[in-house]
Amino acid sequence: MSLLHLHGLTKRFGEFAAVDAFELEVSQGEFVSLLGPSGCGKTTTLQMIAGFLDPSAGRIVMDGRDLTTVKANHRGIGIVFQSYALFPHMTVTENVAFGLEMRRVPRGERTGRVHDALELVRLNGLGERYPRELSGGQRQRVALARALVIRPPLLLLDEPLSNLDAKLREEMQLELRSIQQRVGTTTIMVTHDQGEALSMSDRVVVMNRGRIVQVDEPFHAYERPSSAFVSRFVGKTNLLAARHPERVNGVPRVCVGDSEIELPGVELPSSHDFHISIRPERVELTDPGEGALQATVRTRLFLGDHWLYQLDSPVGELLATRPNRGGSGVRVGEQVGVRWSAEGVRVVTEEHGDD
């Protein structure tokens, strides 16, 4: 069942279209992330949904109610800001209770709902502390409790984890998603972090230059990018410009740089120029002399559970990963063979507006 429908939502600043004909339906209980580079229009979209910006065109409909001209404080939407926006002079309890007080919820009910909200985000016993006495993760949880305590039909998250360190950020991804699933609140999150969007969302909305370029489940957006831009932006990839597609003895072959590569089992486009996308984890390193290409290890990074290699090859720079199985890995300067399976190759094209 659809809760939120954005009909042709557009925001112009003079001649510049920050958001252009944005069309999206969000189902009840769904977690959707708006993902894209800085300036793509994702925050502007969120601000229009929240009521902080008036659309230049289009409509915002929630649960059958047109909110397009409704003031922000009358939309009943919960919001967690990037800075958390907690009141420094109020305790945790007072911060969480603030929205209920504004709605004139009776004191007895207010006390119970604040208690339940703090229990939900595991802040029991910290109600009398002030924001300055809390860690970054605890402040983030207070902001979440304050947004959820009003029982909003829709929760908006504006880069909610960007101020946290890497380890805490990962922990809070699990925490946030777990809370959202328990409560069942429909949620829209803005982020430029691909890992965040892929790990937390039911669907990702990839944006570029004010437009939607792909809406999909995280797995499909990663595995089946709709364009070269999505392939580049959603995770790491090897994006190789290809040309002159042809079949030799029934096997598809393309030119990449000065090399010819066979792509058995891959459906090639009819266009003359396109790209092939191969994720680093699909690039297999073999012994020298084997594989489809020969390459030299230029750089390697040890990332704990895997190695990341930067390779010089006849088709240009390639990235490859290899799981850490306890060995020392291939060293810089060593020669390796490179191969990949047809299942790991995606054919993508540049679309209008791609960077």
Antiparallel, parallel or unpaired: β 306-313 and 293-302: antiparallel
pLDDT in tens, 116-167: 999 999 998 999 999 999 998 899 999 999 999 999 999 999 998 888 888 8
Asked whether 184 and 161 are in contact (CB, 8 A), the reply is: no
Closest Cα partner for 42 from 146, 180, 162, 139? 162
- pLDDT given at position 282: 95
Grade residue 196 by pLDDT with cuts at 50, 70 and 90.
Answer: very high
* Greater model confidence, 322 or 351: 322
Residue 354 pLDDT > 70, yes or no?
no
Residue 201 CB partners (closer than 8 Å, separation 6+): 31, 32, 33, 189, 218
Taking the C-alpha atoms of residue 355 and residue 214, their distance in angstroms, rounded to an integer, is 15
Taking the C-alpha atoms of residue 100 and residue 312, their distance in angstroms, rounded to an integer, is 60
- pLDDT given at position 267: 82
Averaged pLDDT, 325-343: 91
pLDDT in tens, 249-269: 888 888 887 778 888 888 877
Strand partners, 154: 186
User: What ranges make up the beta strands (E) of the chain?
Assistant: 2-13, 16-27, 31-35, 57-62, 65-66, 78-80, 154-158, 186-191, 203-208, 211-216, 238-248, 251-256, 259-262, 273-278, 284-286, 293-302, 306-313, 316-323, 335-339, 345-348
Residue 351 pLDDT > 70, yes or no?
no
Distances (CA, A) of 311 to 238, 262, 336, 337: 11, 20, 9, 10
Largest CA distance in the chain: 80
Which of 72-81, 173-182, 344-353 is the least confident region? 344-353
Q: Which domains does the chain have, with CATH numbers?
A: 2-227 (3.40.50.300), 236-348 (2.40.50.140)
Amino acid at 237: T
* Greater model confidence, 19 or 248: 19
* Greater model confidence, 260 or 32: 32
Taking the C-alpha atoms of residue 229 and residue 206, their distance in angstroms, rounded to an integer, is 10
Residue 205 pLDDT > 80, yes or no?
yes
Residue 355 pLDDT > 80, yes or no?
no
* Greater model confidence, 241 or 205: 205
Residue 15 pLDDT > 60, yes or no?
yes
Residue 353 pLDDT > 50, yes or no?
no
Averaged pLDDT, 299-304: 95
